[in-house]
Amino acid sequence: MRLLEPIEINGMLLPNRIVLPAMVTRLSGEDGYVNQDIRDRYLRFAHGGAGLIVVEAMSVHGGKSGPLLRISDDSFIPGQAEMVSAMHDMGPSKVAAQIIHFLKIARSGWRQKVSDLSREEIRAIIRQYAEAAGRVRRAGYDAVELHMAHAYTLSSFLSLRNRRPDEYGRSLENRMRPMTEAIRAVRAEVGPDFPVGVRFDAEECIKNGYTLSDSREMALRMAKLGCDWVSVSAGGKFEDAIHKPGEPLYPYTGYSGDRCMPSVNYPDGANIYLSEGIKSYLNQKGYRVPVVATGKIRTPALAESILVESRADLIGMARALLADPDWPRKVIEGRSDKIVRCVYGNVCKALDENFRKVRCVLWPKGALQAPLIQDSAAPEWTYGEANLIAIEVAGRVQLKWNHADDDLAIYGYEIYRSADDGPFDHLTSVKGVFYVDDHVVGGVRYRYWVRAYDLGGNRTPRSNTAEVMLPDPTLLPAASPK
């Protein structure tokens, strides 16, 4: 399986192609130091065995930032070093730190823009990136990733909305200038033998934003500058963010936020066309820098096909690994059927948007981390059977079933569905014993079964299969294929 093959990146040997992209947790204190919750979160990921774990964005500057990690002076190094060392002790995962600069935002909705920055301030930001990267190396990280995506400073320079009239705006070269200078400064600081990656938007997904036409040139520049990987994201911009009165403007709240973290509305792998566009352009230009794909990649089969079809070199999964940090370990051990499947309901995203600690809705109530429990006893249907019932109510399908019990605790219930004679696919997972399926059309025979699963990943037997068909509204005498 290509997904499980090691890959060497500038001397750093990843044991597999699975990447945890940087993901905000809001677990750190306002002081920006590593605390116990942060440490637990990343040790939990290290237990799972992803090839590369990118620790959440830490700020390169000293600005006020809420509960966000910082690496803006040397005092932050010891806590980081201890965490990284403990992660390395857990297993073969490599660990990178993502470093970020962001501009000021206020509760009034005001925000500082790149057009407000003096050349002096731009130069200071470049220096801060370099110094922070040096601290990352000294903290024992295996690599550093520069955050140039979404709504943050370097991305805002890259934006097609950047109309600065000087050498830092308007033309593609001018927009790339701070990125170029930051990469060069970081490389000079950390030396040639330390892996440096970049995460950036391959498409802004806002009105008058850039698309692959520009981003492929950005990626080419990164490759020419000797970046060691290019991690592809999309959207997550301020320009279409929805302002919540009394709170600072938060990106990811508009359409571009949907595109950054595609929800249940989107097909699997909704953004793969972006990594594909970037990778094919780089390869065509003679560069082999690894490209990381992200965006609702949830199954080992999809991940594998992306690699086999050369649409990316590495597979990034944020929400899927939040739901189950052991996703990689389970694939490696041939226990893919035990993966706790992300349902892409974006409760994690909503928590972040509301400035709350980021957790997965599938975890047990109140848990700050994914459960890690030794439990080999499977749960059982409380009344010996699930008694799943599916009925139509006003053009929707209502499902009900019995509870299940476990000696420790039930995690939730997985719902599988087949349309006509198709395969049973995982539709979603829920914590209760009730679900309404809105994604149904008349004239199709839907069959469902459910099963409960416990914190150890053990499953009940499948429930009975319940069948329902909404009336076919076409009612045509001959609706035959033409």
CB 6, min distance to a copy of itself, A: 18
Q: How many residues bind a copy of itself (CB under 8 A)?
A: 65
CB 370, min distance to a copy of itself, A: 27
CA-to-CA distance for 6 and 399, rounded, in angstroms? 43
CB 12, min distance to a copy of itself, A: 14
Contacts of a copy of itself in 427-466 (CB under 8 A): 437-443
Q: Classify residue 34 by burial, with Cβ atoms within 10 Å: 0-12, 13-18, 19+.
A: buried
Sheet with 434-437, strands from edge to edge, namely 389-393, 396-400, 434-437
- Segment interacting with a copy of itself, rule: CB under 8 A, options 77-85, 149-157, 199-207, 355-363: 199-207
- Segment interacting with a copy of itself, rule: CB under 8 A, options 80-88, 146-154, 204-212, 401-409: 204-212
Q: Tell which one of 257, 295, 412, 456 touches a copy of itself (CB under 8 A).
A: 257
- Phi then psi for 443, rounded to 5 degrees? 85, 0
Structure tokens at 407: 């000696």
CA dihedral 12, 14, 20, 26 (to 10 degrees): -40
- Segment interacting with a copy of itself, rule: CB under 8 A, options 40-48, 95-103, 314-322, 389-397: 389-397
CB 75, min distance to a copy of itself, A: 33
CB 234, min distance to a copy of itself, A: 13
Structure tokens at 243: 């302002």
Q: Tell which one of 43, 77, 90, 172 touches a copy of itself (CB under 8 A).
A: 172
Q: Tell which one of 39, 111, 113, 221 touches a copy of itself (CB under 8 A).
A: 221
CA-to-CA distance for 112 and 398, rounded, in angstroms? 49
Asked if 225 is part of the footprint of a copy of itself (rule: CB under 8 A), the reply reads yes
CB 219, min distance to a copy of itself, A: 12
Asked if 206 is part of the footprint of a copy of itself (rule: CB under 8 A), the reply reads yes
The neighbour count for residue 418, using CB atoms within 10 Å, is 18
Contacts of a copy of itself in 298-327 (CB under 8 A): none
Q: Number of helices (H) and strands (E) in the chain: give both, helices first.
A: 12, 19
* Cβ distance to a copy of itself smaller for residue 107 or 396: 396
CA-to-CA distance for 382 and 386, rounded, in angstroms? 8
Q: What are the distances in angstroms from CA 13 to CA 52, 94, 242, 273, 420?
A: 9, 8, 42, 27, 46
CB 467, min distance to a copy of itself, A: 16
Question: Among 26, 188, 197, 28, which Cα is nearest to 99's?
Answer: 197
Q: Tell which one of 31, 74, 173, 407 touches a copy of itself (CB under 8 A).
A: 173
CB 395, min distance to a copy of itself, A: 4
Q: What is the DSSP string of 408-474?
A: S-EEEEEEEEEETTSPPEEEEEESSSEEEE----TT-EEEEEEEEEETTS-BPPP---EEEE---TT
CB 162, min distance to a copy of itself, A: 11
Q: What are the distances in angstroms from CA 220 to CA 30, 169, 379?
A: 37, 19, 52
Cβ atoms of 427 and 466 within 8 Å: the answer is no
Q: Tell which one of 85, 108, 265, 387 touches a copy of itself (CB under 8 A).
A: 265
* Cβ distance to a copy of itself smaller for residue 27 or 126: 126
Asked if 353 is part of the footprint of a copy of itself (rule: CB under 8 A), the reply reads no
Q: Tell which one of 184, 403, 459, 462 touches a copy of itself (CB under 8 A).
A: 184
x/- mask, a copy of itself, residues 271-300, rule CB under 8 A, reads --x---x-------xxxxx-----------
Asked if 210 is part of the footprint of a copy of itself (rule: CB under 8 A), the reply reads yes
Structure tokens at 122: 């731009």
Tell me which residues touch a copy of itself (CB under 8 A). 160, 165-167, 170-174, 176-177, 180-181, 184, 205-214, 217, 221, 223-226, 240, 254-258, 265-267, 270, 273, 277, 285-289, 394-396, 437-443, 470, 473-476, 479, 481-482
